[in-house]
């Protein structure tokens, strides 16, 4: 970790103190000004910035009580999911399932950054992880809600419960018992939204009653009860607890790569108590996911002064008011990462952030802000380090930011890889398509579904 220093030419004579007409220059010496700034920085960059409050409740206590009272059923993480325990903001345990995973996709990733999820599934193939990527799921619809205000807590909760119920029963389509797969959430906003919605559900009997009627109508209750997952798990948490095993598959030395990390707001600011922190990663002062993975791969992770800022996505702004989005992305993130950290790449763990930071650079030329920084998801970077094809697997051609220089620095011949991919596109046109899993598995009911043979066992999957 490399720190940043305040500019040498910090001039302090024009700082002010007091209120209203009482404002006057404080005339601090540079030494005193640095002391004051350091006082703020020791707090601003520390975990206590998020923990300086009381009355924080672990809603899982309510969850277990509701299950005991017979009101809900908990989709439990069991030994079959091979859980690894991590620590969250307050030091609470969080069990991360590492096998038998139900991929809950992200509409922004799948629509716009397809290499993000394909890299994740490719890594899981390398590690012999069982998973299901199926068609019976909607997005969480929270991007829309936060952008437009169309939607409400009841619709968000009903969609959460519907999707997670499907995750629970999906294995039945393969002749396996319910609960075999545990949901792994791809999108940061889905993760934040689902954490928040689960918390509301556990705290509000009124909300539970409202959604129970809807879920009942959909046939999405278990023994007449709401099904609540034991944990809401983000894919970046899976990468974090699997980072040592991923590093065992590494084939490219990335120790010469300078990376900045953009921690996603909806991952660690929404329900901040429920995401992984790790004392071995940045002293436990920042969210551990992504940074821990990069450091394990040997990357130089650089600090920068605006690490805590959002990306500028804004949910509504990225659609209809991109002046804000691109200004914020360039001025507060890209420019800082380039000028302060001299980064080769900015790595993130959320859909909207990757989109914003990747796509907002080109327009900076219109106002003389010419910054070029490769932007990608942690799953893509890890897959590249493990030898994934940059186009066929990491699908980097969908990115607008310049990744070619980064690949060259990693020792990857991107021109050769691009030519290979273009040749592969000719195969695709002829219907010769390579996939990460058997496409038949993606359909678990309705048109196109084929019932498994009675003799089908787990070993056949």
Partner 1 sequence: MNIALRIGDPLSEAPAVNREKLEEIFEDIRNHQLFDHELHGCLNCGICTATCPSAHYYDYSPREIVQLLLTENLEGIYDAMQEKIWACAQCYTCAARCPFHNSPGGLIMILRETAIKHGMQSAKDVLKPYTRVLMKVISTGNQLAPNMITPDAFADWGPNIAKVKAPLKVLRKAIPMPTMHTMDTAWEINIKTSIELYTIWEATGVLGQLETIDPNLFDVVTDLMDEKRDEYEEWLEEQEG
Using CB under 8 A, pick the residue from 236, 295, 380, 395 that binds partner 1: 395
Report the C-alpha gap between 239 and 222 in whole angstroms.
31
Extended strands (E) in 231-390: 258-262, 276-277, 300-302, 345-348, 374-377
Q: Does 4 bind partner 1 (CB under 8 A)?
A: no
Closer to partner 1 by CB, 83 or 348: give it: 348
Residue whose CB is less far from partner 1, 119 or 296: 119
Among 33, 60, 102, 134, binds partner 1 (CB under 8 A): 134
Size of the residue set binding partner 1 (CB under 8 A): 111
Q: How far apart are CA 289 and CA 292, in angstroms?
A: 6
Binds partner 1 by CB under 8 A, chosen from 27, 76, 217, 342? 217
Which residue, 77 or 357, is less far from partner 1 as judged by CB? 357
Nearer to partner 1, 12 or 327 (CB): 327
Q: Is 243 in the site for partner 1 (CB under 8 A)?
A: no
How near is the Cβ of 355 to partner 1 at its closest, in Å? 9
Integer Cα distance of 379 and 118 in angstroms: 9
**Ranges within 355-384 binding partner 1 (CB under 8 A):** 359-363
Is 214 a binding residue for partner 1 by CB under 8 A? The answer is yes
Between 287 and 341, whose beta carbon lies closer to partner 1? 287
104 phi/psi in degrees, rounded to 5 = -95, 105
Query: Counting contacts by CB under 8 A, is residue 437 touching partner 1?
Result: yes
Which of 459, 439, 438, 441 has the alpha carbon at shortest distance from 171?
441
18 binds partner 1 per the rule CB under 8 A: no
- Using CB under 8 A as the binding rule, whether residue 444 contacts partner 1 is answered as yes
For partner 1, the closer of residues 134 and 231 by Cβ is 134
Asked if 428 touches partner 1 (CB under 8 A), the answer is yes
State the DSSP H helix or E strand holding residue 169, giving kind and residue range, or none if neither.
Answer: helix 153-169
Distance CA 140, CA 337 (A): 31
Point out which span in 2-10, 21-29, 138-146, 291-299 binds partner 1 (CB under 8 A).
Answer: 138-146
Residues 54-113 that bind partner 1 (CB under 8 A): 55, 105-112
Q: How far is the CB of 352 from partner 1 (least distance, A)?
A: 10
Q: Rg of the Cα trace of the chain?
A: 24
Q: Does 122 contact partner 1 by CB under 8 A?
A: yes
Among 9, 14, 21, 53, binds partner 1 (CB under 8 A): 53
Strand, coil or helix: 272: coil
Q: Compare residues 433 and 456 and give the one whose CB is closer to partner 1.
A: 433
Instruction: State which of residues 27, 76, 206, 342 lies at the interface with partner 1 (CB under 8 A).
Output: 206
Is residue 205 a contact residue for partner 1 (CB under 8 A)? no
Least Å distance between CB 13 and partner 1?
A: 23
Q: Are strands 276-277 and 182-185 parallel, antiparallel or unpaired?
A: unpaired
* Side-chain half-sphere exposure of 253, counting CA atoms within 13 A: 2
Q: Is 46 an interacting residue with respect to partner 1 (CB under 8 A)? A: no
The pattern of x and - marking residues 142 through 171 that bind partner 1 according to CB under 8 A reads -xxxxxxxxxxxxx--xx--x---x-----
Upper half-sphere CA count for residue 401 (Cβ side, 13 Å): 28
According to the binding rule CB under 8 A, does residue 397 interact with partner 1? Answer: yes
Residue 232: both structure tokens together: 């809401």
Q: Least distance from C-beta 320 to partner 1, angstroms?
A: 3
Min CB(299)–partner 1 separation in Å:
24
Task: Report if residue 265 touches partner 1, rule: CB under 8 A.
Answer: yes
* CA 126 – CA 246 distance, rounded (Å): 9
Q: DSSP strand E in 89-235: where?
A: 93-96, 101-104, 131-132, 182-185, 226-229
Quick check: 332 binds partner 1 (CB under 8 A)?
yes
Contact status, residue 120 vs residue 381, Cβ threshold 8 Å: no
Question: What is the per-residue binding string for partner 1 in 291-310, x denoting contact by CB under 8 A?
Answer: -----------------xxx
Q: What are the C-alpha distances in Å from 233 to residues 85, 117, 196, 337, 349? A: 12, 15, 13, 29, 13
* Strand 16-17, strand 24-25: pairing: antiparallel
Is 50 a binding residue for partner 1 by CB under 8 A? The answer is: yes
In this structure, the chain runs to a length of 461
Q: How far is the CB of 310 from partner 1 (least distance, A)?
A: 4
Own/partner contacts of 38-45, CB < 8 Å, gap of 24 or more, are: 44/308, 45/285, 45/286
The pair phi, psi for residue 185, each rounded to 5°, is -90, 125
* Contact status: 24 vs partner 1 (CB under 8 A): no
Question: Six-digit token pair at 150?
Answer: 């169309």
Asked if residue 326 binds partner 1 (CB under 8 A), the reply is: yes
Residues 360 and 324: beta-carbon distance below 8 Å: no
């Amino acid at each position: 970790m490399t720190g940043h220093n305040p500019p040498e030419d910090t001039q302090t004579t024009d700082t002010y103190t007091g209120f209203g007409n009482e404002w006057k220059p404080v005339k601090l010496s540079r030494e005193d000004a640095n002391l004051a700034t350091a006082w703020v920085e020791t707090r601003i960059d520390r975990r206590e910035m998020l923990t300086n409050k009381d009355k924080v409740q672990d809603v899982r206590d309510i969850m277990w009580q509701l299950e005991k009272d017979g009101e809900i059923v908990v989709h439990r993480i069991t030994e079959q999911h091979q859980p690894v325990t991590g620590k969250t903001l307050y030091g609470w345990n969080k069990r991360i399932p590492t096998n038998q995973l139900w991929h809950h996709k992200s509409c922004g990733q799948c629509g716009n950054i397809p290499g993000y999820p394909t890299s994740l599934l490719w890594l899981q193939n390398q590690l012999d992880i069982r998973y299901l990527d199926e068609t019976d799921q909607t997005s969480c619809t929270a991007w829309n809600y936060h952008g437009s205000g169309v939607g409400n807590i009841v619709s968000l909760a009903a969609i959460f419960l519907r999707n997670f119920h499907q995750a629970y029963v999906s294995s039945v389509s393969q002749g396996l018992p319910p609960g075999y797969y545990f949901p792994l959430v791809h999108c940061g906003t889905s993760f934040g939204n689902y954490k928040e919605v689960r918390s509301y559900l556990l705290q509000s009997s009124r909300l539970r009653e409202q959604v129970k009627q809807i879920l009942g109508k959909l046939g999405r209750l278990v023994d007449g009860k709401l099904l609540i997952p034991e944990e809401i798990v983000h894919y970046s948490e899976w990468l974090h607890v699997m980072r040592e095993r991923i590093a065992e598959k590494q084939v490219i030395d990335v120790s010469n790569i300078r990376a900045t990390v953009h921690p996603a707001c909806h991952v660690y600011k929404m329900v901040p108590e429920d995401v992984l922190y790790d004392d071995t990663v940045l002293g436990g002062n920042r969210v551990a996911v992504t940074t821990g993975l990069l450091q394990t791969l040997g990357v130089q992770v650089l600090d920068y002064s605006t690490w805590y800022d959002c990306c500028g996505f804004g949910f509504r702004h990225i659609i209809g008011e991109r002046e804000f989005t691109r200004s914020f992305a360039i001025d507060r993130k890209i420019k800082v990462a380039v000028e302060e950290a001299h980064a080769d790449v900015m790595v993130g763990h959320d859909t909207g952030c990757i989109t914003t930071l990747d796509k907002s650079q080109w327009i900076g030329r219109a106002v003389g802000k010419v910054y070029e920084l490769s932007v990608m998801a942690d799953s893509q970077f890890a897959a590249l380090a493990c030898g994934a094809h940059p186009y066929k697997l990491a699908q980097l051609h969908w990115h607008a930011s310049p990744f070619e220089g980064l690949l060259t620095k990693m020792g990857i011949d991107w021109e050769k890889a691009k030519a290979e991919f273009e040749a592969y596109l000719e195969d695709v046109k002829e219907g010769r398509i390579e996939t990460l899993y058997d496409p038949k598995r993606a359909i678990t009911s309705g048109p196109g579904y084929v019932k498994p043979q009675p003799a089908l066992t787990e070993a056949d999957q």
